[in-house]
Amino acid sequence: MAVTAVDRPVDYTDLAKRSVAAGVITLILGSLLVGLETVPTPNGGSMQLEPRYRALICAAVGIAVVYCLVELLKVGRAMPALIGGLAMLAAFAVLEWAKIQGLPLGDQLPFNSWVVNWGVMLVPISLVLRALLMMHRAGRPAAVQQAGHKEDGFAAFYLKYNKLFGTLLIAIAVALPFAPFADRRLVDIGTLVLTYVMLGWGLNIVVGLAGLLDLGYVAFYAIGAYTYAMTSINFGLSFWLALPVAGALAASFGIILGFPVLRLRGDYLAIVTLGFGEMIRIIITNWWWFTGGPNGINDIPRPSLFGLVFERNAPKGQETFAHFFGIGYLPIQRVIFLYFVILMFALGTNLFTLRIRKLPISRAWEALREDETACRALGINPRNTKLTAFAIGAMFAGMAGSFFAARQGFISPESFVFLESAVILAIVVLGGLGTQIGVVLAAVLLIGMPEYFRSLQDYRMLAFGIGMVLIMIWRPGGILSHRSPTIFLNRGKAKP
């Protein structure tokens, strides 16, 4: 990234060779993926393959050109990237205009889908931006000198405004349901995202702090959900009474899982926890007379606000929220109430984690993650320390689970498949192990965005995949992967 090296010589023959190679490789790799399309036969009934030469050749040539421009950009030649990027954008604009006008030229757009066409345009846009940025920097040699200093600017920026950022996020979360653009769908998505934030924060204790890779986390979520559903239906326990029961039961299961896996680390631990997650789901599915089996449990009571229910007409002996406050009944009141319940839960989890990070148990978790043998030599009991991590992580999953059951009103084993564990783990890893705000950003990115852009159909999953790949390329440690010590001796002095 040497910006100053404008006069560095470029081996154009070599560059041309490598660009052509990039194009050819794209051509070969894409010949089946992009080059062939399955379409229905004209008489219907079956499918046939149809070649897509235009898209394939556009992609290959595009990759070759972009590769060449990026390489030139890397050795400090910004002008070709700028011109090339602008040319691509201009060509696209002309074709798009032609399409809108209905001219035959409009059919020449490289891809059949407008989403892909517009998505591809992100490439020249980023090229132009990078080129402009480089030209801007080249004018200021002082700033250039810092290029050699490898500083994580994003994490540093975040650390500087840590408190502000957190407060801002909470303020946004509180204000969201009352925003003018907030409809029922948005608040629902917010509730879903917050559920995953809470799960992410809970799993972060196990994976991020204690370093125990748990692939069966959803089992505790399921245990919490079934605990609430079954206690409320069989014993009439209210949501708020069932909550600690669900948490405690999930924590006990955490300890039960923890015992046999105490000696396992890394991959082996992951496999056993994965098995545990599946076991719980299979038991729930097959123990039909107890759990309702694959049919699940229906008509789970909704949570109330200090006995005020969110219904149009109050059941006997109860009062509705709308009646108590003398306002009209709106179905969205319940949605907003649930949103605030999970917001409170999530913030509670966060507060708990922030507090416990200052306590010896959390430092022992981290020490255990770093070196178990050394921990043993210091007199730390690895068994109890690990079991606490499992139990506390499971407790939060159990509470989130009972919220899930209360919100849905219906649960079945299908909600607790392995994919859920994987998604929660992905949130934690992408967010950055051990960080709190990273988990929020990752949950918004992984849960909120695909849910919000549901109308984009399959492309949202494509974008999801591309997003994951980009995060792993640019921020391999997660979106925010900075760990700051929990205690300081020389606060404010220079650090290495």
Partner 1 sequence: MSEGPLLSVEHLTMRFGGLVAVDDVSFSARDRQITGVIGPNGAGKTTVFNCLTGFYKPSVGRLTLTGRRGSFLLEQMDGYRIAQRAGVARTFQNIRLFPGMSVLENLIVAQHNKLMRASGYTFGGLIGLAGYRRAERAAVEKAREWLERVRLVPMADWDAGNLPYGGQRRLEIARAMCTDPDLLCLDEPAAGLNARESAELNQLLLSIRDEQKIGILLIEHDMSVVMGISDHIVVLDYGRKIADGTPTQIRNDPAVIRAYLGEAEEDENPAAEGAKA
Q: Is the dihedral of CA 94, 100, 106, 110 positive or negative?
A: positive
Is residue 485 near partner 1 by the rule CB under 8 A?
yes
CA atoms within 13 A on the CB side of 276: 28
CB 240 within 8 A of CB 303: yes
Q: Which of the residues 37 through 96 are near partner 1 (CB under 8 A)?
A: none
CB of 395 to partner 1, least distance (A): 13
CB of 382 to partner 1, least distance (A): 7
Among 76, 166, 348, 382, binds partner 1 (CB under 8 A): 382
Buried b (16+ CB within 10 A) or exposed e, 186-213: bbbbbbbbbbbbbbbbbbbbbbbbbbbb
Phi first, then psi: what are they for 318, rounded to 5°? -125, 165
Q: Which of the residues 258 through 317 are near partner 1 (CB under 8 A)?
A: none
CB 3 within 8 A of CB 138: yes
Closest CA to 443 of 115, 204, 161, 174: 204
- Pick the stretch among 224-232, 262-270, 371-379, 404-412 that binds partner 1 (CB under 8 A): 371-379
Is residue 476 near partner 1 by the rule CB under 8 A?
no
**Binding characters for partner 1, 324-363, by CB under 8 A (x = yes):** ----------------------------x--xx-xxxx-x
Tell me the residue ranges of DSSP E strands in 297-418: 308-309, 319-320
* Count of positions on this chain that bind partner 1 (CB under 8 A): 36
CB of 277 to partner 1, least distance (A): 27
CB of 432 to partner 1, least distance (A): 13
In angstroms, the Cα distances linking 442 to 392, 395, 426, 429, 436 are 22, 22, 8, 9, 10
Is residue 234 near partner 1 by the rule CB under 8 A?
no
Q: Which is nearer to partner 1, 21 or 378 (CB)?
A: 378
Is residue 375 near partner 1 by the rule CB under 8 A?
yes
CB of 186 to partner 1, least distance (A): 35
CA separation for the pair 441, 197 (Å, rounded): 9
Among 18, 99, 460, 483, binds partner 1 (CB under 8 A): 483
- Contacts to partner 1 by CB under 8 A: 352, 355-356, 358-361, 363-364, 366-367, 369-371, 373-382, 388, 483, 485-491, 493, 495-496
